[in-house]
Amino acid sequence: MRILHVVGARPNFMKAAPLLRVLRARGIEQILVHTGQHYSANMSDVFFSELGIPVPDINLGVGSGGHAVQTAEVMIRLEPIVLDLRPDLVVVYGDVNSTAAAALVCSKINISVAHVEAGLRSFDRTMPEEINRLVTDQVSDLLFTPSPEADENLVREGVSTEKIHRVGNIMIDSLVELLPLAKQRPKNGFPEQYALVTLHRPSNVDNNHVLRSIVDILLEINNRLPILFPVHPRTRQKIVDFAIDTSALCLMDPVSYIDFLALQSRATAVITDSGGIQEETTFLRVPCLTMRDNTERPVTVSLGTNVLVGHNRARVCQEIDKVLDGRAKVGSVPPLWDGHTAERIADVLESKNRIPVDRVLVDVAAKHI
């Protein structure tokens, strides 16, 4: 069996690393394609190094761009590669543009697709990631889900239960693997108590009024609990564009996965708009305040440490007060978030061997539609 993995952004790397490692140990032939959606050293290269991901066999070099441009470029550059290599299965991860683009390419030329982290839904179609999730799940042949509600979402959308495999959360595999190293990282003079902040979603950072309002909330929190803020390049540029004064906050360059895991595990609270961080804080039992009105990971709210606070200043401050008073939400770790998700996925793939779908590879060069 020949498996081709497609990754494009940091969350993909953390999900692919455990599966690449497990399949390699089982002697399965693998090809790694990096689309280049995240392409700088601190957004890509260092993550590959720390996660033990091999140098990609192919880098598409797509780079930045709008949603349409980025998606189209991945499709154009990936199609001839999969036609040439003819893998038995293409594995895509998460919900970034590279994920949907690769799934579309492969489904159109009748190459089987497996989606790791399938079935997550925010039910908010203003989020580009939600469109990517919906499209990817509809054209995938194997759907590996992290939690029961993900299964339910897929069934409600008409996906055959034979395609759905609940395997747990593969991001936790990477966390479990690297947490011991993170705990050895020096504290670098950071305060004993702090709130760790990450913001990158367009709905939070692309609008002057919204981003300014969020920074005002962070400034108020900073008076009670020092803030450490590794700033995503997109967010930093918007802060500059909108001339927002953040001089009172501790802004940092993006950090590596292990360094961020160290910061996260020691944080008094985490304030974020990231889906993956909602999951990691739940596993770490660190209070998480999510600056969104919805989440595609509701299990982090129902079972975990996550609280949705939106942009409500009073709510954010109230939750921070609870944390400082020792009244923070006490969560639990969801079932199958145990560091063995990649092994369960590998078991399914080996049991299938070659995906049992009667398909004939279409030579699109000879077929014009």
d(CA 197, CA 97): 24
Give CA angle at 155 (149, 156), nearest 5°.
Answer: 85
Tokens of 256: 């590596």
Q: From residue 101, give the alpha-carbon distance in Å to each of 71, 96, 196.
A: 5, 9, 32
Q: CB–CB of 288/307 below 8 Å? A: yes
Q: 10 Å Cβ neighbour count for 161?
A: 10
Distance CA 279, CA 304 (A): 8
Supply the residues annotated as catalytic.
200
> 9's torsion region: left (phi>0), alpha (psi -120 to 50) or beta?
beta
In angstroms, the CA 204 to CA 274 distance is 11
